[in-house]
Amino acid sequence: MKLVLVLLAALAPGIAFSAGDPETGKAKSATCAACHGPAGISANPEWPNLAGQKEAYLVSQLMAFRSGERNNALMSPMAANLSDDDIAHLAAYFSSLGNQ
Ligand code: HEC
């Protein structure tokens, strides 16, 4: 899996994308659980599930919230202070979860 991510990063030089570690992501996900659920399944119909989502998509959306390209009153402040590493780890964690 890590090798795939490294290859992906090499093939997509426009996207800053480093291989994330799910365990580190899990440790950083406590605040996310308030809205997205402890296992990445949200209890609110207006808040998206993250469990099992594609890792690269999670990275790109967190970067879009951070940059302001994607804007949401609840979510944008959550992404504002994430580092590239935080984003990589969180994306690795949520994508590693089952989505059922
Ligand atoms: C206060 C509630 C709240 C918290 C806390 C929160 N989010 Fe969100 N998040 C949202 C909402 C609401 C959306 C949907 C925004 C929209 O409609 O554009 C969202 C969207 C997302 C998306 C895009 C999902 C998609 O399918 O496009 C990602 C990725 C995400 N959040 C990750 C996180 C991570 C990682 C954390 C923890 C650092 C976090 N969120 C914390 C409310 C929250």
Smallest CA-to-CA distance from 28 within 92, 96, 89 is with 89
From the alpha carbon of 53, which atom of ligand 1 is closest? 26
Nearest protein Cα to ligand 1, atom 33: 32
Q: What is the pLDDT of residues 26-59, one digit of tens each?
A: 999 999 999 999 999 999 999 999 999 999 999 9
**CA torsion angle 45 51 52 58 (round to 10):** 90
Q: What is the pLDDT of residues 10-29, one digit of tens each?
A: 555 444 556 899 999 999 99
**Residue to probe by mutation, ligand 1, list 71, 75, 84, 95, most atoms within 8 Å of CB:** 75
User: Does 89 have pLDDT greater than 50?
Assistant: yes
